[in-house]
Amino acid sequence: MIALALASILLPTVGAALIALSPRSASKRLGQIFAGLATACLLVLAYQFSVGGKIPAEYSVINFGGVEILGFGVDTVSVLVACAVVGIGFLISIYSGGYLDAGNREHPDIVRRRYFAFLSLFIGAMAGLVFSTTVIGQLVFFEISGVCSWALIGYYEKPKSLYSAAKALIITHIASLGLYVAASVMFLETHTFALSAIGGLSETAKTIVLLAILVAAWGKSAQLPFHMWLPDAMEAPTPVSAYLHAASMVKVGVYIFARALMSSNGAPELVGYVCTIMATITLVYGFIMYLPQCDMKRLLAYSTITQLSYMFLGLGLSVFGSQMAFNGAIAHLFNHAFAKTLFFLVAGALSYTTGTRMLPLLRGVLSKSPLLGIAFVVAALAIAGVPPFNGFFSKFAIFAGGFEVAQQHPLLMVLLVIALLESVGSFAWFLKWVGWTVPGRPSEAVAAASPVPLSMQIVLITLIVMAVCSSFIAAIWLG
Amino acid sequence: MTPIQLLCASLACSIVAAFGSLLLSRAENWAISFAGLGGLVAAVLGGVAGASVLSGAPLVLDVAGPFSFAHFIIRLDALSGLMVLVISTLAAVASIYSFSYVREYGGRGVGPMGFFFNLFVASMVLVVVADNAFWFLVFFEMMSLASYFLVIFDQDEEAVSAGFIYFLVAHAGSVAIMAGFFLMANAAGSLDFAAFRATHPSALVASIVFVLSLLGFGAKAGMIPLHVWLPRAHPAAPSHASALMSGVMIKIGVFGILKVSVDLLGGDVLWWGIAVLALGAISSVLGVIYALAEHDIKRLLAYHSVENIGIIMLGIGTGMIGIATHHPLVAMLGMLAGLYHLINHAIFKGLLFLGAGAVIFRMHTKDMDKMGGLARTMPWTSACFLVGALAISAIPPLNGFVSEWFTYQALFAAALDGTFLVQFATPIAATALALTGALAVMCFVKAYGEMFSGLPRSKKAEQTTEVPAPMIIGMVLLAAACVGLGLAAPLVVPVIGGIAAAILHMPPASFANGVMVLPGDPAHTLLSTPLLAVLLVGLATVPLAISAAFSGSRANRRQAAEPWACGYLPDAHMTVTAHSFAQPIRMFFAPLYAVRRTAAAASEGIERQFVKLVSLARRGEPMLDRALVGPSISFVGGVGKRLQILQSGALSTYCLYIVAALAILLLITLR
Amino acid sequence: MVASDLPPLLLLSPLVFALVIFAMPTSGRSARLIELLHLVSIVGTLVLALTTVGYVLSHGTLVTFGDWLMVDPLAAIFVGLIGVVGCLTGFYSIGYIRHDVAHGELTAVKQKLYYGFFNLFLFTMLLVVTANNIVMMWVGIEATTLGSAFLVGIYGKGTSLEAAWKYLIICSVGVAFGLYGTVLTFANASASIDPHQAVLWTSILAHAQDLDPTLVKIAFVFVLIGFGTKAGIFPMHAWLPDAHSEAPSPVSGLLSGVLLKCGLFVIIRYYAVTMKAIGPEFPQSILLVLGVLTVAVSAFLVFVQHDFKRKLAYHSIEHVGLIVIGLGVGGPLGIAAALLHTINHSFTKALLFCGSGNVLQKYGTRDLRSVKGILRTAPVTGLFIMAGALALAGFPPFNVFVSEFMVFAAGLDAGYPKLMILVALLFTITVAALVDIIAHSVLGKAPENMEKSDSSWLSLAPMGVLLALIMVFGVAMPRPVGDILRQATGIVMDQGHATATATPIEHVAAKK
Amino acid sequence: MSGLQIVNGLAGLLIVTSLLVVVARKPSQSAKFYALQSLVLVAVFVALGSATNAPQLYVWAAVAFVTKVVLVPVIMARSFGRLSDERLGSGERISPAVTVLLAAVVVLLCTLIISGVTLPAAAGIKPALAISLAHFFFGLACIVTQRNILKQVFGYCLMENGSHLTLALLAGSAPELVEIGITTDAVFAVVIMVILATQINRKLATLDADQLTTLKG
Residue-by-residue DSSP string for B547-586: HHHHHHHHHTT----PPP-TTS---GGGSPPHHHHHHHHH
Do the Cβ atoms of D173 and C135 come within 8 Å?
no
Least confident window among B567-571, C56-60, C325-329: B567-571
Confidence (pLDDT) at A21? 83
A145-159, A241-255, B408-422, B503-517: range with lowest mean pLDDT: B503-517
For residues D174 and A147, what is the distance between their CA atoms, to the nearest angstrom?
Answer: 56
Helix (H, G, I), strand (E, B) or coil at B394: coil
Tell me if B666 is assigned to some domain.
Answer: yes
- In three-state form (DSSP H/G/I as H, E/B as E, the rest C), the secondary structure along C63-130 is EECCCCEEECHHHHHHHHHHHHHHHHHHHHHHHHHHHHHHCCCCCHHHHHHHHHHHHHHHHHHHHHHH
Residue B516 confidence class, pLDDT cut points 50, 70, 90 = very low
pLDDT value of residue B556: 61
* Alpha-carbon gap: A113 to the closest alpha carbon of chain B (Å): 32
Question: Which of C198-202, C497-501, D108-112 comes out lowest in average pLDDT?
Answer: C497-501
Question: For the range C452-455, what are the long-range contacts, defined as Cβ-Cβ under 8 Å and sequence gap of 24 or more?
Answer: C452/C376, C452/C377, C452/C378, C452/C379, C453/C377, C453/C378, C454/C358, C454/C378, C454/C379, C454/C380, C454/C381, C455/C95, C455/C99, C455/C358, C455/C361, C455/C362, C455/C378, C455/C380, C455/C381
D144 and B648: CB-CB below 8 Å? no
The model's pLDDT over B61-78, given as tens digits with 9 standing for 90+, comes to 888 888 888 889 999 888
Per-residue pLDDT tens over the stretch D53-62: 878 888 888 8
Residue A404 near chain B (CB below 8 Å)? yes
The model's pLDDT over B500-515, given as tens digits with 9 standing for 90+, comes to 888 888 776 655 444 4
Q: CB under 8 Å, gap of 24 or more: what pairs does C496-503 form?
A: C497/C60, C497/C73, C499/C332, C503/C332
Does residue C489 belong to any structural domain of this protein?
Answer: yes
* Test the C interface: residue of D53, D192, D206, D213 with most C CBs within 10 Å: D192
The total of other beta-carbon atoms located within 10 Å of residue A103's CB is 14
d(CA B171, CA B165): 10
* CA-based nearest residue in chain D for residue B658: D140
What's the gap in Å between the CA of C512 and the closest CA on chain A?
6
Where are any strands of DSSP class E within C254-376?
Answer: none
Neighbours of A (≥3 Cβ pairs closer than 8 A)? B, C
Mutation choice for B interface testing from C218, C225, C278 by most B CBs within 10 A: C225
Q: How many domains does chain B have?
A: 1
Task: Determine the average pLDDT of the residues in B617-638.
Answer: 84
Phi, psi dihedrals of residue A295, rounded to the nearest 5°: -75, 125
Q: Is the pLDDT of residue B558 over 70?
A: no
Beta bridge partners of C200: C133
Indicate the residue type of D34: Y
Q: Count the residues in chain D.
A: 217
For B653, the closest chain D residue by CA position comes to D144
List C-alpha distances in Å: B282 to A296, B423, C114.
43, 18, 101
pLDDT tens digits, one per residue of C213-260: 888 998 999 999 999 999 999 889 989 999 999 999 999 999 999 999
Residue that wins the pLDDT comparison between C195 and B475: B475
Domain for residue B342, yes or no? no
Q: Residue B101, SS3? A: helix
Q: Write out chain B residues lying below 8 Å of C217, CB-based.
A: 669-670
**D203 falls in which pLDDT band (50, 70, 90)?**
confident
Range of the domain at B609: 591-670
Say yes or no for a CB contact (<8 Å) between C162 and D178: no
- Residue B139's pLDDT band (cuts 50, 70, 90): very high
- Could you tell me if C156 and D199 are in contact, meaning their C-beta atoms sit under 8 angstroms apart? yes
Determine, for residues A432 and B155 on separate chains, whether the beta-carbon distance falls below 8 Å: no
Of A146, A162, A187, the CB nearest to C439: A162
- Residue B639 in any domain: the answer is yes
Beta carbons of D181 and C139 less than 8 Å apart? yes
Mutation target for C interface from D60, D117, D164, D185: give the one with most C CBs within 10 A: D185
Please give the Cα distance from C150 to D196 (Å, whole number).
8
How far apart, in whole angstroms, are the C-alpha atoms of residue A153 and residue A160? Answer: 10
Out of A62, A66, A170, the one facing C428 most closely (by C-beta) is A170
Residue from B310, B240, B239 nearest B279 by CA: B310
The total domain count for chain C is: 1
In a domain, B334, yes or no: no
Q: Which residues of C touch A144 (CB under 8 A)?
A: 395-397
Average pLDDT of chain B, as a whole number: 85
> Residue C309 sits in which domain range?
280-512
CB count in 10 Å sphere of residue B136: 25
CB count within 10 Å of CB C409 equals 26
Question: Is residue A192 predicted with pLDDT exceeding 50?
Answer: yes
Q: Do D209 and B652 touch (CB under 8 A)?
A: yes
Q: What mean pLDDT, rounded, does chain C reach?
A: 88
> CB of A418 within 8 A of CB of A283?
yes
Residue C507 pLDDT more than 60? no
Comparing CB atoms, the residue among C425, C428, C443 nearest residue A157 is C443
Task: Say if CB B119 and CB B14 are below 8 A apart.
Answer: yes
C-beta atoms of D213 and B650 within 8 A: yes
pLDDT score of A387? 84
- Give D174 or C155, the one with higher predicted confidence: C155
> Is residue A364 a contact partner of residue A442, using CB atoms and an 8 Å limit?
yes
Q: Do the beta carbons of residue A62 and residue C512 sit within 8 Å? A: yes
Q: Do B651 and D209 touch (CB under 8 A)?
A: yes
Rounded to whole angstroms, the Cα distance separating A466 from A469 reads: 5
Q: Quick one: closest CA in B to C289, which residue?
A: B665
Average pLDDT over residues C13-32: 86
Answer yes or no: is pLDDT of C17 > 60: yes
Average pLDDT, chain D: 83
Contact A439 B172 (CB under 8 A): no
Number of C/D CB contacts below 8 angstroms equals: 124
Domain spans of chain A? Answer: 1-265, 268-479
The size of the A-B interface in CB pairs under 8 A is: 109
- Chains A+D touching (3+ CB pairs under 8 Å): no
Instruction: Give the closest of A69, A165, A166 to C511, CB-based.
Output: A69
Give the mean model confidence (pLDDT) for residues A355-383. Answer: 89
